[in-house]
Structure 1
Amino acid sequence: MSDMQARISAALATGAAAVAILGLLAACTADAREDDQASPTPTGSTYFVVTSDSVTLPPFGEAADYQLGGSYDVDDAVKIVARDSTSTPAEGVYSICYVNGFQSQPGDDERWSVDNPDLVLRDDDGQAVIDPNWPDEFILDTSSPEKRQRISRMIGASIETCADKGFDAVEIDNLDTYSRSDGRLSIDDNLALAKLFADRAHGHAMAIGQKNSAELGALGRTRAGFDFAVTEECVRFEECGAYAEVYDDRVIDIEYTDDLSAPFDEICASAGRPATTILRDRNLVAKGEADYVFEHC
């Protein structure tokens, strides 16, 4: 689960005003361009699409920390930090903003079930479809262009907040809701919404990360426009190669203490793991709490 004005000022100062202006126009018109698809350029077995010149990708091979359960001081060795959109970015590192793009956030029921009930996916009895692993999160209904555009506007506000706070990138969680929708949603539905999110992020000079969903292959990049990947347990599930084939070295992996496939030092020594691989406790609690664990390769 840097400031936009500063970026524009910097662009103007360096003579890159056109890039900044076009970026803003892209964010404003993203809803109307839902079906646009990036054209993949194959390079060997890896697919690349051109990323906007205004975004910065995560630094290769640097240590990362995944602080979604609470912010805390960053270790000196860490150069990449992910935090929730309600937090502020860590200073002096590459900062990734977590946004739940395809499900409701805990405690945000009224926004969806009361104010926008038609955007909540329903079963045959009209009941909201709930994520079985997160019973306080509704699955959002991505099944039509009109609904996707409305969801994009609502979630887009969180993406813009990330930009205003100074984050360098966003990661959009729960892309895989099609897999627990009992056939009510499709991969195409979610990729179409993901492209709206990517357009908005790029329009605010932020990179955007694909969260999990190794089964998409190159589609996350070529259809949605993701720039890098944030994976959970790709070593455990032997999926790291699928992400590397698409995103090359721009893969950040989090393994969890309660389900390791091998001791973490052996994982770090293994050939197939991403260059940026970390170990965290499952609940991602803040440093100082009893269950806190953080290690990096």
Structure 2
Amino acid sequence: MRASRAAASALFVVIATTALAGCTTNPPTEITLPPAGAAPDYQLGGAYPPPADVGIVVRDRAEPPADDVYSICYVNAFQTQPAELADWPDELLLKDAEGDIVFDPAWPDEALLDAASDRNRKAIAEVVRPWIERCAAAGYDAVEFDNLDTYARSDGALTFDDNLALAEVLVAIAHDAGLAAGQKNAAEHAAALRNGAGFDFAIAEECAAFDECDAYTDVYGDLVIAVEYSGVGEFRAACEDERMPPSTVLRDRELVAPGEPGYVFELCP
């Protein structure tokens, strides 16, 4: 399945190493990079057949990959998914000075993971590892690790270096499973994340709205998948900016499926 979807993409060989203690270098693993400039669709609100001109689809890890389209598996790796809080050991959840769990202010049903120690990073990686491996077994080509920027909303309890160290372990697991790995968030640290963690491409939400698309493209070139949530007029104007990545899509913020109220899907001309 992966070989048929990847026919239009270049093969990229990496030496996949894992940062977990006691592990040694693994044999080279072939991974397939996203097709540069292909039209993307971001389907986290529910899977549906992608439009005919779409060449890249992102879906939640609970969904199957798209048939005959480069498919990226979404994994929330730096904070918990809604309704999955109980699946995480309490010691891996970030606590504030009063001992209360720290939740994402924008997503109050998602708790931040405590990546501040090497021991915790290894334990977090072991929770996430089977998700990554199931993405590979299902036939996905790549994985994106969301909420890399939890350090920015942890009130100083986490640092960028903490999350960089965790990202390095997660990317190694993805590469070992034969998946390309995508950076999500932390535009200002794109170079450090590519060089330090080994990310292969980036997924940028609202990079045009926040004027940071070139922070990604300066590092990843055309291997940037941009998702915008602005109005149609603003989106079409942004498409005229030469800094807009070639792989860009306008979606509704709820990412609903076609036929549901509020569905929006548009590509740059």
**Fold agreement, TM-score > 0.5:** yes
**1:183 pairs with 2:156:** yes
Return 5+ residue gaps in structure 2 as ranges. Answer: 5-12
Q: What is the CA–CA distance in structure 1 between the aligned matches of 2:20 and 2:134, rounded to whole Å? A: 18
> What RMSD over aligned residues (CA atoms) do the two structures have, in Å?
2.1
Q: Secondary structure at the match of 2:30?
A: coil
Aligned with residue 236 of structure 2, among 238, 252, 265: 265
Aligned with residue 21 of structure 2, among 32, 51, 60: 32
Aligned with residue 252 of structure 1, among 225, 242, 250: 225
Letter matched to residue 216 of structure 2: Y
Percent of pairs with identical residues:
51
Return 5+ residue gaps in structure 1 as ranges. Answer: 8-18, 37-51
Letter matched to residue 213 of structure 2: C
Deviation at 1:109, TM superposition (A): 1.5
Q: Secondary structure at the match of 2:31?
A: coil
Aligned with residue 44 of structure 2, among 45, 49, 68: 68
Aligned to 2:32: 56
Aligned to 1:136: 109
Deviation at 1:217, TM superposition (A): 3.5
Q: Secondary structure at the match of 2:243?
A: coil
Deviation digits for residues 254-289 of structure 1 (CA, Å, limit 9, x no counterpart): 00035x7x5322222221100111100001011110
Aligned to 1:286: 257
Q: What is the CA–CA distance in structure 1 between the aligned matches of 2:214 and 2:110, rounded to whole Å? A: 30
Aligned to 2:9: none
Aligned with residue 245 of structure 2, among 246, 254, 274: 274
Aligned with residue 99 of structure 1, among 71, 75, 94: 75
Deviation at 1:53, TM superposition (A): 5.8
- Larger radius of gyration between Structure 1 and Structure 2: 1
Q: What is the CA–CA distance in structure 2 between the aligned matches of 1:220 and 1:85, rounded to whole Å? A: 23
- For the structure 1 residues 131 and 73, does the alpha-carbon distance in structure 2 shift closer, same or farther, using more than 3 Å as the test? same
Q: Secondary structure at the match of 1:217?
A: helix
TM-score calculated relative to the size of structure 2: 0.90
- Which of structures 1 and 2 has the larger relative contact order (alpha carbons within 8 angstroms, sep 6+)? 1
Aligned to 2:99: 126
Deviation at 1:165, TM superposition (A): 0.4
- Tell me the matched-pair count: 257
Deviation at 1:73, TM superposition (A): 1.1
Deviation digits for residues 19-48 of structure 1 (CA, Å, limit 9, x no counterpart): 89x75xx4xx541289x9xxxxxxxxxxxx
Aligned to 1:198: 171
